[in-house]
Amino acid sequence: MKPRQNGFTLVEIAVVLVIVGLLLGGVLKGQELIDSAKVKNLAQDFRTTPMLIHAYQDKFRALPGDDRRAVAHLCPAGAANCTTDGNGDGVLGGNWDDDSGSEAALFWQQVRLANLASGPVDTGDAAYIPRNAEGGRIGIQRGGNGAPLGLTGSHVMCSASINGKLVRQLDQALDDGNPASGALRAGTTGDGGTLTVISSANPLADGNSHTVCLSL
């Protein structure tokens, strides 16, 4: 009588390896689909914001946030002021990451009061600042002199806390595929909140979060 063998046969090991391979492939494919969905969501943010500007201008002949007759346009008759008038100079004052007080911060309040976008209109609400698919804040400001990452154009929109891997895919979807140049650029946040554009000395890192800005 032959002694009983312990352990796995080659066939059993092969079957286990095939199953493990299928599981790993499924996990990787699932992550790829999740990343693709995030990139589409991030890209949609950049496409939607210019539409809000145009829709508000069509409705009130003014720039949201900068509208010098915003109270008259947006607040119910007889009600206390629901927003603040801008100075009407045709540009957004302030910075894209302002929480309140500037025209750039009031932009979101006014497009929401105009029923062009959803979200709270109380600037003190924790959910007032819009967020992207990665949880980073979204903002808009004037372009040109002093704009983040050296971008020109009438306005610059920025979206923060985006993983480097997603930045590459986003740039391919919206611009030239190079996050160091073009209309869409990525940067890292340094001391004092200053953004430094991606370069050979400041490379894009897949494991790090970056801020992406687009010239509108």
Tokens at 124, concatenated: 């003190």
Q: What Cα–Cα distance (Å) separates residue 63 from each residue in 87, 90, 112?
A: 10, 7, 13
- Supply 6's token pair: 């312990």
What stretches in the chain show pLDDT beneath 50? none
Q: Where are the domains of the chain?
A: 48-130, 132-216
pTM of the model: 0.83
The per-residue pLDDT for 206 is: 87
**What's residue 1's pLDDT?**
52
Q: So what's the pLDDT on residue 34?
A: 75
| Cβ atoms < 10 Å from Cβ of 15 | 12
